[in-house]
Chain A
Amino acid sequence: MKELEKSRETYEGIVIPGELEGRVMEAVQSSRKKRARKLSQRRRSRVYRWAAGIAAALTVVTTIGLNTSEAFAVEMQNLPVIGDLARILTIRSYEKTEGDTQIQAEIPGVDLGENGRELSQEVNAQIEKMTAQYEREALQRAEEYHQAFIETGGTQEEWAEHDIRIHVWYEIKNQTEDVLSFVVKGTESWTSAYAEIRYYNLDLKSNDFLTLADFLGADFIEKANASIKAQIEERTQAGESFFTAEEGGFETITEDSSFYVNDRGNPVIVFEKYSIAPGAAGEIEFEII
């Protein structure tokens, strides 16, 4: 048995690389992020299922002429993110039907704690306003689409086969003790031309909005432009297509250019669909390192 003890000592003497702790933390962090995404998806699909369950009841309600614009499912749910410090939560989550249009919404809000109260209020008010306005306008567009469809000879039956959905939701891009970066999106199933996409990058230390200058310094415009131009060149060679200068391609970013903070803590500048490349490319992103 002595030999076994000795071998155990040798075993316990295996040198632990200093890197180990960082590698394990990295795995934990990335799992945490995946989990947050999965949680929000599951919550979403739970609303779907629930909504499907009341579909029959919904039909009855509609035919007897009650107001169907009532929110059918309103739930408040917490998504714990970074301990007690700061949280992003789903303030309202609902699914409803207006005429032939389905609306599915998951409206976020932030709770930045005592010191972040003002910033929380500002951000939440903006989100509230943006999502409400988007929903209203999208509904109007759906109605215009409907009328145009009927006026050009379409039948109500054919219209009913269209999948007309409005979707408002959010995605968390990065969450650490210091930074909360997320995006709020509104999209319509029948057109992407009016999609509303707004990024929020919050500095949780100073309770203020993060700017590109916070990441890249005072000359952030020059720095970002140089990086983007180099990346466009590289990606063009790799087969991606971008608009040329004549076609209205990339010229410069501005103070107000949209960006989020990625997993690695770097700013990622985002260009809307159609803005610097053909629409098939969708939104275009450039990580600025």
Chain B
Amino acid sequence: MQQDHFEEIVEYILENQKKFYRLAYSNVRNEQDAMDVVQDAVCKALEHADSLRDIGAVKTWFYRILMNESMNFLRKNRRELLLEEPLGDEAYVCDPDYADQEDLYERIKGLPAEVQNIIRFRFYEELPLQEIAEIMGLNLNTVKAKLYRGLKALRVEMEGMRG
């Protein structure tokens, strides 16, 4: 029990909290909700500090928890979101011209949540595909395929597929 990495995890969290917030915010799209998600993820992670065997894996371990919390939040609040914001960010996926008009950052939001996150991890956080696979609980080939299809939909060049 004394040998877990509690203090190192705390340190990692404090150093990277802004990254966590950005990721959470990109998923839940609301300041307060994003902070709730980060807070919950921190509590869960520290509560299960002993489940992290290798401190070297703290990044994928924590991101995975953060992703789970974000998805839980969206699942729980989907109903309210739909009622309150029927024409929110999700709406412009249907617009065929949309992809040509707005910048890529906005267009990414039109993709399925999972693909969005893969793109964020790959291009914004610069994580190797293998780590992304671990975070998302997918196998490597699935991650590659999803990323490929996502980028194709966005009509951007197919770089970043290695690694």
Any B CB within 8 A of the CB of A151: no
A14 with B103: in contact, given A7-B108, A21-B17, A31-B46 (CB under 8 Å)?
no
Q: Which residues of B contact A20 (CB under 8 A)?
A: 17-18, 21, 35, 38
Any A CB within 8 A of the CB of B55: no
Q: Which residues of A contact B38 (CB under 8 A)?
A: 20, 23-24, 27
Interface string of A1-44 (1 = CB under 8 A from B): 10110111011101011011101101110111011000100100
Interface string of B1-31 (1 = CB under 8 A from A): 1000010001001100110011001100001
Q: Which residues of B contact A26 (CB under 8 A)?
A: 39
Q: Which residues of A contact B21 (CB under 8 A)?
A: 14, 16-17, 20
CA distance A7 to B151 in the complex (A): 13
A19 with B35: in contact, given A28-B42, A34-B47 (CB under 8 Å)?
yes
Majority secondary structure, A binding face: helix
CA distance A17 to B30 in the complex (A): 11
A24 with B17: in contact, given A1-B156, A10-B105, A11-B26 (CB under 8 Å)?
yes
CA distance A17 to B36 in the complex (A): 12
Interface string of B103-117 (1 = CB under 8 A from A): 111001000000000
CA distance A168 to B152 in the complex (A): 67
A12 with B124: in contact, given A27-B42, A28-B14, A28-B46 (CB under 8 Å)?
yes
CA distance A34 to B35 in the complex (A): 21
Q: Which residues of A contact B91 (CB under 8 A)?
A: none
B120 to A: closest C-beta gap in Å: 7
Any A CB within 8 A of the CB of B123: yes
Q: Which residues of A contact B157 (CB under 8 A)?
A: 1
A67 to B: closest C-beta gap in Å: 33
Question: Which of B42, B46, B124 contacts A8, CB < 8 Å?
Answer: B124
Is B103 a contact of A6 with CB atoms below 8 Å? yes
Any A CB within 8 A of the CB of B97: no
Is B35 a contact of A23 with CB atoms below 8 Å? yes
Is B46 a contact of A35 with CB atoms below 8 Å? yes
Q: Which residues of A contact B108 (CB under 8 A)?
A: 7
Any A CB within 8 A of the CB of B100: no
Q: Which residues of B contact A28 (CB under 8 A)?
A: 10, 13-14, 42, 46
A-B CB contact pairs (8 Å), 20 listed:
A1-B156, A7-B103, A7-B123, A11-B22, A11-B26, A11-B105, A11-B120, A12-B22, A17-B21, A17-B31, A20-B35, A24-B13, A24-B38, A27-B38, A27-B39, A27-B40, A28-B10, A28-B13, A31-B47, A42-B1
Binding site for B on A (CB under 8 A): 1, 3-4, 6-8, 10-12, 14, 16-17, 19-21, 23-24, 26-28, 30-32, 34-35, 39, 42
Binding site for A on B (CB under 8 A): 1, 6, 10, 13-14, 17-18, 21-22, 25-26, 31, 35, 38-40, 42-43, 46-47, 49, 103-105, 108, 120, 123-124, 156-157, 159-160
* List of 3 A-B pairs having minimum Cβ-Cβ separation, nearest first: A31-B46, A7-B105, A27-B42
